[in-house]
Structure 1
């Protein structure tokens, strides 16, 4: 075996390790804090408004900072940007462990910013280093994201009871620091291989904003995320009002996340093997509709509808994420499409829990909110069918601004 091939294989193995570590750190810092909201409210003496802001901040950060990822990657390189994102995430996690309300919110913003940039660049890493294995490696990354998120949520209270809230929050800085250190050599190698980072399309000022396909991909991700976060925020309350005990209603959300773990791997693999993703999009929409109508019309069969929701929501996000790679002809375009889709998508998603909550407050029941979620399946499906056709996003040439 030639020395160059050994080096190349070692480099790919290191990049694969880095990809997996990146995926492991893109959910835990968010899901690990949610179960402790009540304790944090008492510890920091937060008002109801402050707690709502703390809960909403991560999703807002995912949208607000996602648009910065592609320009940063263009300027300093993808690998270096990922190191910066993981360093930011580690810093934010540690800041949250200090007994200061200001640092709690500041750390949440920094952690959210790091996760936002990592989210955008994950499909870019897959496209650049493993273009022939987009489905399997996107699926593995999705499975790791879902698994680490579920693990962090499940360990939050046991860690809190065993070591206190500070340790329960700070522990997630360990895997993020390991990931940052792993990406360091990749960043150094990337700078040696590409000392002058430049993407022709970005330099010309080409724009994805004129691409209907790019808007369809972004809109589909946004609607999928909106419905998911709305359900995760309010499903326990909906099921509790339908007669289920609070503990059982809470378990339903956990079951949905558990169901999503194997689907996170299977759906991207299947999506990449199909000539068009439209059958998957149609199947997901029908399954969501059955689940939501079931909760509305036959709530006592709640666990059946939870299984349907787990199948639908557990398939929808991995599919939307896979489309970022499948619709991109190159890694630079994938970075810009990912940034565009996630920036708009998560900002739209942040409106979901708020809108559903306000609608419930105004009507006094869950009937109208559930009908609203069902109605939102129409634009989600329409955008998905547009995004699922076999084509590449083509940036439109624009005037460069100097």
Structure 2
């Protein structure tokens, strides 16, 4: 930041960041609880449902990769403002009803989420350099609370609002618009001059490092576990005999379970020299809890959902923290974030799509095996990504 550049108060920046974070998951978690009803009303088949859960994750990755370009042209603050407005626009499209607005709205809102997700690590590295773990934990926790609200409140909204599932899904544009209004004065308070040079060169520079690809593999594979749970857990529970309302409530418990680990894990992991022990513990918890939800007595689904959420929230927060910790400077953090989330979400898209197709082939058994395979991959990549090293887009990796 230049000497003459104004800086909003740090507490206002933090509050605005949390409002933005709250809106970075409802677009993804609101469809799952209504998916059975949407399929029944529209005739959407199993392949179409799997495609509906996959397309948004692909757009997350595409938009994440655009983060450095948007940051150079607009600045990260205005880039986040653009992102949250795109999220609101995508959610609003769902109000039109029908499959085309549903798919289009999912892709547009996911693009906004991906763009914001690609920009936030560099922004945290810039504005909160002494509190990376705490701030990453706070915004990840708030993101998880937004996910919980989306999965738990959408079915009740279906009963309250006229307009059926389209209105219940589109209602989540309102908090996104509120967040954009809160973030706008913070973003516009900082003048930005477009930076020279190509953003792609920064990504290419960071991509020279093997560690960058290990971080990318961990980010993508742990994300695939989360998107499988977001998209398919309500259907799993309904097949086990739970009502749509109860299945949505349990999915909400899963999202709520993410909040404490999303706060604690980044805060603690950032203080550690390396993060490999966190990788092992959290991935193991995630697998055990998910398998329990498939085979354990239904009376245990609530605590198992909380355990699954704790594992997923912790691995996601750990992934974001590792991005910041492995980067030596804010520009490298932005480039590593673009690579890890851009390519990573393309990997993650395979999760919900493959899980849905596997279910059509062999019930939930083959799906469970696929979930475990993704988890094993996340574990292996995470053991390398958690090593105490830092990389820069312009130099060789060094030990911390």
TM-score, length basis structure 2 = 0.85
2 CA distance for matches of 1:292 and 1:258? 16
Q: Alpha carbons of 1:25 and 1:198: their partners in 2 closer, same or farther (altered >3 Å)?
A: farther
Matched, 1:31 2:8: no
2 CA distance for matches of 1:99 and 1:290? 38
User: 1:168 — aligned with what?
Assistant: 168
1 CA distance for matches of 2:358 and 2:169? 33
Matched, 1:347 2:346: yes
Task: Say if 1:275 and 1:390, in contact at 8 Å, map to a contact too.
Answer: yes
User: 1:19 — aligned with what?
Assistant: 17
Task: Say if 1:79 and 1:187, in contact at 8 Å, map to a contact too.
Answer: yes
Task: Say if 2:203 and 2:338, in contact at 8 Å, map to a contact too.
Answer: no
| Structure 2 alignment gaps of length 5 or more | 396-400
Task: Say if 2:287 and 2:372, in contact at 8 Å, map to a contact too.
Answer: yes
User: 2:147 — aligned with what?
Assistant: 149
| Structure 1 alignment gaps of length 5 or more | 398-402
Q: 1:305: Cα distance to partner?
A: 5.0
Q: How big is the alpha-carbon RMSD for the aligned residues of Structure 1 and Structure 2? A: 3.1
Count of equivalent residues: 387
Q: 1:29: Cα distance to partner?
A: 2.3
Q: Could you tell me which of 251, 254, 262 is aligned with 1:253?
A: 251
Q: Alpha carbons of 1:279 and 1:348: their partners in 2 closer, same or farther (altered >3 Å)?
A: same
2 CA distance for matches of 1:290 and 1:153? 22
2 CA distance for matches of 1:290 and 1:87? 38
Matched, 1:334 2:329: no
Q: Could you tell me which of 44, 48, 53 is aligned with 1:47?
A: 44
Counting only pairs closer than 5 Å after superposition, residues 50-61 of structure 1 correspond to structure 2 as: 50-61=48-59
1 CA distance for matches of 2:55 and 2:310? 27
Q: 1:240: Cα distance to partner?
A: 6.4
Matched, 1:122 2:120: yes
Task: Say if 1:256 and 1:309, in contact at 8 Å, map to a contact too.
Answer: yes
2 CA distance for matches of 1:336 and 1:42? 43
- Structure 1, residues 186-205: CA drift from partner, whole Å, max 9, x if none? 333332xx424347986678
Task: Say if 1:259 and 1:314, in contact at 8 Å, map to a contact too.
Answer: yes
1 CA distance for matches of 2:340 and 2:385? 12
Q: Alpha carbons of 1:80 and 1:288: their partners in 2 closer, same or farther (altered >3 Å)?
A: closer
User: 1:181 — aligned with what?
Assistant: 181
Task: Say if 1:124 and 1:332, in contact at 8 Å, map to a contact too.
Answer: yes
Q: Alpha carbons of 1:162 and 1:250: their partners in 2 closer, same or farther (altered >3 Å)?
A: closer
2 CA distance for matches of 1:321 and 1:239? 29
Q: 1:134: Cα distance to partner?
A: 0.9
Q: 1:292: Cα distance to partner?
A: 5.7
Q: 1:276: Cα distance to partner?
A: 1.1
User: 1:111 — aligned with what?
Assistant: 109
